[in-house]
Structures are given as structure tokens and as C-alpha cells.
Amino acid sequence: MKVLITGAGGQIGCDLAHMLKERGHYVIATDIASRPLAMCADQWHHLDVSDKNSVISLFRQDEPEVVYHLAAILSARGEEIPQQTYKVNEIGTFNVLEACREAHVRQLMYCSSIAVFGPGTPDPTPDDCFLQPTTMYGVTKVGGELLGNYYHSRWGFDFRGVRFPGLISATLPGGGTSDYALFMYVNGVRIGAYESFCRPDTRIPLMYMPDALRAIVELSEAPRDRLGRCVYNIAAFSPPAQEIADVVAKHVPGVKLSFRPDPGRQAILDSWPNALDDTCAREDWGWSPNFDLEAMSADLIPKIRDLLDDHIQTPPPGRF
């Protein structure tokens, strides 16, 4: 099958392209940035999803059967540039949906987020719940879900999406508010210390990248008649930040992990659910995670050591 990925240069894209290639698909990767050295794809194109004509032209040219729409500006960065975040995340998603419709793409897989929720949600938070996000990133993810649902009901288009928890992988953090967890591992290994921008009791849903990739690919492959909805919560584990620090300390002897909450980012974290109810995903298409916090840590830390050996970089200022 011919598959196209938008935003392929981000945290998810390289690993997703590799997984799709392993499944025998022909992968077309696109991004507004340069092609990463690690990118595993059959084709690479520069693409700005906020440019409707460019999106439609590329989709007509390459004729993908399935599109994985990853292109987005994440939560922390999004609060610094909300106007651009709306342009990329909201208008970009509309452009991709329109291109799918006009180019007769069979299916669009959409990456949503726990950021669609706001303060005061039930614990754990179900799929159907009031959506009152406090960030532009969250607002645009709600908008993307609603647009996709509209295209499904209006034209019968096969739109499917997952609400990702905060994702952790062997990569450098990319501007998400959940990055405090990843920084514990990356800077814990890199410099032996990290000062988190959250409180030690901060608790949000998290997931290891291999589970996240498997979830969205398995949802794409699920028979449509088994699905009772278009967008699903998926969940793995929801440890307090202090528990993550304790596990990192067990695997990285001598590491110094501390906490100094940043008011802005802490407010975003406090607006998100403590845990997600993913009953619908489990019942409709058999979703179940393979990794808990301990299993993830044992697998992740050696990969981060390898990553840092290959890419020696200076830690971002003010984040450790």
C-alpha cells in the first residue's frame, strides 16, 4: 500500500515510517523541515500543510491510499506562537482533509492528544467528555477531531484518530509540555542531572513510542465495521513525576533529579487528565499496551545512550 506521512521529521515520523516499511508499505514522507538522516522512506518531499495548493498538488501527484497526518506545532511551543500554531494545526488539517477528499485518498489517520481535554475531567477520563482545552494546541486538536468527524458523516470518508498520551521515545525532546518525563531520561544520561519544570506529584497519561506506533497502525488496519467511533483514547501508564524520577535513578546510578515548577507549563499539565479510560479502544479493536513504566525504562535507557553517542548536542538552555 502507498502511505503518505505529513510532519514526518518530528518525534513520531521516523519511527512510524520504519514500522510501515517493515509492514511492506511504500512510504512517502513529507515535512516542512529537512529530511532527517534517520528517515526510512521511499520518497521525501518538502511540504507546508498550511499551503492548500501544495498539499492538493502533492496528493494528486503521488496518489496515496492512506495518510498519517502528524504535522503539528506542539503545546509548549504553541503557546509562544499561537497564531502560527493555528495556521499549521487547524488550517493544515483542513487542507489535508480537503486534499484527501479531492485526491480520493481512502483513509486519514489523525494524531490527537490529551490536550483536547481541560480542567475538571473525570478520573480516568472517558472518550466522550467535555472538551475545554486551555492551549492553542489543544484547541486545534479539538478542531481537527471535529473536522474529521464531519468529513466522515458528510462524505463517508474513513477518518480515524487516536488521542495520544505524552509520548516518550529515544529521541531529543521536541517542544511538548510532557517533555519533563523524556528530559529525565535524556539529561539524566547526558549530564547526570535534570530539574523538572513540574511538581513531583504531577500525573498525566504517558506512553512509550513503540506502543503508540502500534496503536495507530493497528487502528488503521482494523475493519471499519468494528469501530464504534472515529477518535479513541489510548492509555498505558500514569505515574507521578516523582515515580518516574525514582525509576530513572534506579537505572542511572548517581543521577540528580529535582523539581522547580514553571507556572505556565505546570498550568498546562494541571489542565490535562490524570489518566485516560481507553475501554472503547480495547473493546472495538483489541488495543492493549505492551510497556509499563519499568519495562519502558529498561528498554529506553540503552537506546538513549546510543542516541547520545551518535548525536552529541548541547542541552537546551534553562531545561536542566
Active-site residues: which are they? Answer: 137
Q: Tell me the Ramachandran region of residue 38: left when phi exceeds 0, alpha when psi lies from -120 to 50, beta otherwise.
A: alpha
Distance CA(274)–CA(271), nearest Å, equals 9
Where do runs of H (alpha helix) occur along 196-292? Answer: 209-221, 241-251, 263-271, 279-285
What is the rounded distance in angstroms from the CA atom of residue 208 to the CA atom of residue 200?
A: 20
3-state SS class at 206: strand
| Residue 241 neighbours by CB distance under 10 Å | 23
Q: Is 70 left (phi over 0), alpha (psi -120 to 50) or beta?
A: alpha
For residue 177, the Cα-to-chain-centroid distance in whole angstroms is 12
The full 3-state SS of 52-119, as one line of letters, equals HHHHHHHHHHHCCCEEEECCCCCHHHHHHCHHHHHHHHHHHHHHHHHHHHHCCCCEEEEEEEHHHCCC
Measured distance CA(16)–CA(31) in Å, rounded:
14
